[in-house]
Amino acid sequence: MKFDTPAGANPTDRMKVLGKPLDRYEARLKTTGTATYAYEWQDVAPGFAYGYILGAAVAKGRIASIDTTEAARAPGVVGVVTYLNAGKPGVGKFYVQKMLAAPEVDHYHQPVAVVVAGTFEQARAASAMIRVVYDRTQGRYDLAAQTATAPVPPEGEFGGPNEKAVGDFTKAFAAAPVKVDETYTVPDQAHAMMEPHASIAKWDGDRVTCWTSIQQMNWGTRDLGLILGIPKANVRLISPYIGGGFGGKGTVQIDLALAAIAARVVGRPVKIALQRPLMFNTTIHRPKTIQRVRLGAGKDGRLTAIGHESWSGNLPGGRTEPTVTSTRTLYAGANRLTRMRLATLDLAEGNAMRAPGEAPGLMALEVAMDELAEKLRMDPVQLRIVNDTQVDPENASKPFSTRAFVQCLQEGAERFGWAKRNPKAGQVREGRWLIGTGMAGAIRGGKIAKAGARARLGKNGVVTIETDMTDIGTGSYTIVQQTAAEMMGVAPDRIVVKLGDSTFPETPGSGGQQGAPSVTAGVYAACMKLRETVAQRLGFNTAAVDFVAGQVRSGNRTVPLADAAKDGELVVEDVMEFAKMADQFQQQTFGAHFAEVAVDAYTGEVRVRRMLAVCAAGRILNAKTARSQVIGGMVMGVGAALMEEMAIDQRFGFFVNHDLAGYEVPVHADIPHLDAYFIDEVDPTISPVKAKGVGELGLTGVAPAIANAIYNATGVRVREYPITLDKHLDHLPEVA
Ligand code: MOS
C-alpha cells in the first residue's frame, strides 16, 4: 500500500479501541517473570557456552603481544577468541566502532579477547590469565582541547548538513538591540538501561540465529551480516522482549557481534552478557557537546538572528551529535546560522541516545531563550509564542503538517499556574528552600518509514499480527493489538501480537521515535488487505463492508468474521510505503515543559518539586502507554539536568564512573509529582493512522525547564550540565 496523499476518513477514526488506556499486552508475562529476555534463553541453543569479554586496558595504542596459553588451559575453557583467530570482523553501517582490537586499540575497553567456557565464572576467571602487552600511545580525550581545530565535516548519510545559513546572521546579530551570547556544555551521557546487552548465537552451517536485545531488527541483520561477512539473509535475530534501549541497542553491539564470532570459532553456541563497565566504555553513548548559542531580538521579542554552533567528538568516521537540528525548526527568525564541528577523540563511539540532537540541543537553546526573555523583561512563555511559525523557518514554502506548539505552551501555563510565578530570580523563600519555576519548549522530528506486517485470521476468529517491530518497554505490543482490533472490528482479546523476529515483515523497529507510527501504518496496510480478502471469501461483492463487533456486515447481511476462515487460516501480508509527504510538510512533534524546584539555601541541593508536560504528537494511540513514555522521558530529563555525567580520566582515557553506583540516575525519591497531557490532534500527513511518535519528545525540553527553574530559584545561571550543587553553592544568596 502506498501513502502519498493526506489520509481521509478510515476505520482507525472509530477510536473504539485505539486511543484507550489499554493495559500492556505483555504485562502479565513481565510482572510474573515469564517474559524471556535475551540472557534468559536456555533451551533454544543446547550445549551453549558462556563468553566473557576482556576489554583493552589502554585507550589508545596496539596489542604488542597477547598470550592466551594459560587461559586456554584453565578449567572449563572451550576456546579463546582474539583477532588472531577471529578473522577480521567487518564494520556495520550505522556504528563505526570496531568490535575487536585487531591489533590496534581505538578506545578503552575495546574487546581484546572473548573467553568461552562452560560457565560464566570459568570464563571470567580464565580471562584474568590472558597476558596482553600493549604499546600505549597518547590519545585525545578532551573535547575542549580540540575545539579550535575541529572541522565542519561533510554531510553524511544520517542527519542533515553540518552547516546551514539563511539570511545574514552576522549582520543581524550585530544590529540586534537585545542579545544573548552564551556557551553551554552537555557531558557524555550513558543510556544506562536496566537490561544489559546480551546475546546468544547459534550457527547452523553458514547461517546464524541470535537471541538478543536489539531495537532495530533489519539494521541488526544488515550490520551483523557485514561484521561476519555473510549475507543479511543468513542472519536471524529474535528479540521479543527488551529491557530498555534508548538508542543504546539500536543495532549490533559487541555482545551480539562477539557471541556470533566466538560461536563460529569454537563451534558451539555462545551466550554473552556485558558487564556494566563495558556498557559504559565500549558501547555507544551520547557524546559531550559544547554549544554556543547567539540570539538577537528586537525589543518586541521577535528573533532577528539565531546562531547555534556545536562541537562534539567521535572516533574516526563517526558523526556529529546533531544538536542544532531543533534550532533549525523551532522558532521564526530571518537570519540563521547553524554549524557543527567534529573533533576526533579516542573515546568509545558517540551515537544515538534518546532524541539525539534535540535532547542536548534544547539543553542549550531553551536556556538561551530563558536568558533572552530575562533581558527583554518578557515572560518566557510569551517570548516563545511571539516567535512561533507555521512554516519551516528555513523554507517558507514548507508548512508544518501540524504544529500545536502555542497550544502546548498555553495549556501548560494554565495547568501549571504559571501566572503566579515571580519572574525575578532568587525572590521566593520557604524556610530554608529557595523556590523557582521554569519552562522550556520541546520539539522532536515526527518521522515515519516503510513498514510491513502479516495478518492471519484463524478459524476461531483470532487475528494474529506478525512484524519485526520491537517493544523496548514502550508499549509496541499494545498499540499493534489496538490497531488490529480497530481495523478488524474485534475486541482486543481477539488479537495475538508477535514481534521481534527478523523473519517477520520488516519495520524500522524502535528508533527515532518512528516505531509506533510506522508499525501501526504497516498493520493498517495488512489489515486492509485482510478485510478485502475476508469480504471476497464471504462473497461480499461491494466495497461498503463494515467490520464491527466480530461481524462482517453489508446492507442487511451479517456474517461472523471467523466464517471467512472456516476452510483454513487466511494469511495476508502488506507493506506501507511512504512517498514525498516529508518533502511537502515539515513533520514534527511539539511540547512544553514546566518545572518547580526547591534549592537548599544552605547546601545548594536541588529538589524537583513538580513537573508538567503538554505534548502534541498527532493521534495518541494509547493514552496510558503514551503518558508512560512522556513521564519516563521526564524522569530521564531530571537525570540529565541534575546528575548524569560520564567523567573522563584525562590521563588514561576512560569513563571512570562506569556503573550504576558511580553514574547517577534519578531514583524514586528524586521524582516529584509529574504529569503529562496531550493536545487532541491528528496528523493526516503522517499515515492513515495519523499518529506521530512520543517516546523521544518526552525527554526533549525537560532538562532546560529544570535548569531555568533553578535559575529562577537562585539567580545563579549554571551553563554546564549536570547542575550539581558545587556549581552554584558559592554564588547563592546570603542566608544569614
Ligand atoms: Mo533512538 S536514540 O533513535 O532509540
The pLDDT tens digits of the residues spanning 302-351 come to 999 999 999 999 999 999 999 999 999 999 999 999 999 999 999 999 99
Substitution candidate for ligand 1 out of 518, 694, 696 with most atoms within 8 A of CB: 696
Any ligand 1 atom below 6 A from CB of 474: no
pLDDT at res. 256: 98
The pLDDT tens digits of the residues spanning 350-386 come to 999 999 999 999 999 999 999 999 999 999 999 999 9
507 — pLDDT class (breaks 50, 70, 90)? very high
Any ligand 1 atom below 6 A from CB of 512: yes
104 — pLDDT class (breaks 50, 70, 90)? very high
Q: Helix, strand, or coil here: 406?
A: helix
Q: What mean pLDDT comes out for the span 495-505?
A: 98
pLDDT at res. 579: 87
How would you class 183 by CB atoms within 10 Å of its CB: exposed for 0-12, middle for 13-18, buried for 19 or more? middle
pLDDT at res. 511: 96
Cβ partners under 8 Å of residue 101, min gap 6: 56, 62, 63, 83, 110, 111, 112
Q: Give the distance (Å) from ligand 1 centre to CA of residue 574.
A: 26
Q: Give the distance (Å) from ligand 1 centre to CA of residue 518.
A: 14
The pLDDT tens digits of the residues spanning 263-302 come to 999 999 999 999 999 999 999 999 999 999 999 999 999 9
Q: What is the DSSP letter of 492?
A: G
Nearest CA to 546 among 8, 11, 1? 11
Among 371, 696, 720, 734, the active-site one is 696
254-266 vs 217-228: helix crossing angle, rounded to 10: 40
Residue in the structure block whose three cell numbers are 556495520: 92
Any ligand 1 atom below 6 A from CB of 244: no
For residue 215, the ligand 1 atom closest to its alpha carbon is 4
Find the distance separating the first CA and the last CA of the chain, reported in whole Å: 71
**Per-residue cell: 85:** 583467530
**Per-residue cell: 62:** 596496539
The pLDDT tens digits of the residues spanning 18-61 come to 999 999 999 999 999 999 999 999 999 999 999 999 999 999 99
Q: Are 545 and 560 in contact (CB under 8 A)?
A: no
Per-residue CA distances from 307 to 324, 333, 677 (Å): 9, 10, 32
Q: Give the distance (Å) from ligand 1 centre to CA of residue 57.
A: 29
Q: What mean pLDDT comes out for the span 667-672?
A: 91
Nearest-angstrom CA–CA distance, 515 and 526: 16
Atom 4 in ligand 1: residue holding the nearest Cα: 247
580 — pLDDT class (breaks 50, 70, 90)? confident
Q: Which residues pair with 366 in a beta bridge?
A: none
Nearest-angstrom CA–CA distance, 564 and 508: 31
Nearest-angstrom CA–CA distance, 679 and 613: 11
Q: What percent of the chain has pLDDT over 70?
A: 100
Summary mean pLDDT of the chain:
97
Any ligand 1 atom below 6 A from CB of 500: no
Substitution candidate for ligand 1 out of 191, 242, 349, 354 with most atoms within 8 A of CB: 354
Q: Give the distance (Å) from ligand 1 centre to CA of residue 353.
A: 5
Q: Are 53 and 257 in contact (CB under 8 A)?
A: no
Q: Are 664 and 636 in contact (CB under 8 A)?
A: no
Q: Are 284 and 350 in contact (CB under 8 A)?
A: yes
Q: What is the CA radius of gyration of the chain?
A: 27
pLDDT at res. 736: 63
For residue 250, the ligand 1 atom closest to its alpha carbon is 4
pTM of the model: 0.97
Specify whether 696 is catalytic: yes
Q: What mean pLDDT comes out for the span 146-152?
A: 96
Q: Give the distance (Å) from ligand 1 centre to CA of residue 215.
A: 8
Judged against a pLDDT cut of 90, whether residue 544 lies above it is answered with no
